Structure 1
Amino acid sequence: MQNENTEKQITPAAAPTVNSVPSEQDDFTPRYLDPDTLTFTRSEVGTARLEIRKEACYLRVVVRRLMPLSNPNQYISLAADEDTEIGILVDPSALDAKSLEILQEELDKRYFTPTIRKVYRVKEQFGIHEWEVETERGRITFLVRGLNQNIKQVPPARLFVTDVRGNRYDIPDYRELDAQSYLHIQRHL
């Protein structure tokens, strides 16, 4: 079945390999992509395009880290849309320089997560917490509803805070923050 996101489909003359398009019977078998056959480019409107040599060209590709915390630079899922996976790129560093640059730009857009360096205040009103913090991008204020659902702790002391707009903020180790910031965090954990 061809996705409308596919520009062209080239049927290989050889027998199916590990990189061939999976049939509907083996939809759950991971497809590992060979980085030597992949080329990323930008479309005229700025979206990432993916060409798999002698197979297909996808006009828009969605990228996801399969292990965003433990192994963020390997095991990248490439998809034709939010639900149609093309395959898994195990080691992106094997791509050509331009393709790697485009892939990294797409990952940076998808996983933009400012790092909180200081917590100035956390004020609660009617179940909504207003955070005023310093990040590498400057001082900002954001709102968090439902701390239990929107602050995730990754042992031993890493925190991910999700605001009401779905933006994520990272505190790599809250124990290493200054004393005032640490107290704000402890009060609201």
Structure 2
Amino acid sequence: MTTTDFTLRRDPFGRLTLTDANGTVHDNVAPVRAFPIQAPDEGLALVNTDGKEVIWIDRVEDLPAETAALIREELSGREFMPEIRRIIDVTSFATPCTWTVDTDRGAADFVLRGEEDIRRIGAEALLISDTHGIQFLVRNQYTLDKHSKKILDRFM
């Protein structure tokens, strides 16, 4: 179902509840991005607890402001993917090693298990997974500073 004719609210427990155009209530829905890295505000589904799509949303910004705010708030609580802005240091060029980075959420240290934990996403982006499963995003490896690029090149 593709529509923008629905209402979205939080229930008393803080979960999202969707009422569709037919008046059907869908409790505990969750937003899921189709392309979380390359087009985060385009192509988003609200899915039920079984993972079945209830509503498809082409663009979040086309929604009423209150609905868009609820969706963005829910996504920010569910998604944790710090974006690396600068690689400060690595303990070794052999893995496993500890990386010290500056992210959009502050400074962080993480352990890189192996070079296979650095994955390309498209032509410019990289996804780096640490030993705890946290994924760090490098949105554009070519816009990093010279020092960061030099470190990253040793692992790629």
TM-score by length of structure 2 reads: 0.86
Could you tell me which residue of structure 1 aligns to residue 97 of structure 2? 129
Give the aligned CA root-mean-square deviation in angstroms.
Answer: 2.2
Question: How many pairs does the alignment contain?
Answer: 156
- Shift, 1:129, TM fit: 2.8
Matching of residue 165 in structure 1 with residue 128 in structure 2 = no
Q: Using the TM superposition, give the Cα deviation of residue 76 of structure 1 relative to its aligned residue in structure 2, in angstroms.
A: 0.8
2:59 paired with 1:91: yes
C-alpha offsets along residues 107-157 of structure 1, whole Å, 9 cap, x if unaligned? 223333221111122235984231110112211111222321x21113433
Q: Structure 1 residues 101 and 181, CA, compared in 2 at 3 Å: closer, same or farther?
A: same
The verdict on how the C-alpha distance between 1:105 and 1:82 changes in structure 2, with shifts beyond 3 A counting, is farther
Separation in structure 2 between the aligned mates of residue 66 and residue 104 of structure 1, nearest angstrom: 14
The residue correspondences of 1:1-189 to structure 2 (distance < 5 A) are 31-32=1-2, 34-35=3-4, 37-124=5-92, 127-148=95-116, 150-189=117-156
Q: Identity over aligned residues, as a percent?
A: 24
What is the alpha-carbon distance in structure 2 between the residues aligned to residue 38 and residue 82 of structure 1? 20
Q: TM-score, normalised by structure 1?
A: 0.72
Report if the CA contact (8 A) 1:62-1:82 is conserved: no
Amino acid at match of 1:99: T
Q: Over alpha carbons, which structure has the higher Rg?
A: 1
- Specify which structure has the higher proportion of strand: 2
Q: Structure 1 residue 64: deviation in Å? A: 0.8
Describe the SS at the equivalent of 2:32: strand
Q: Which runs of 4+ in 1 moved over 6 A?
A: none
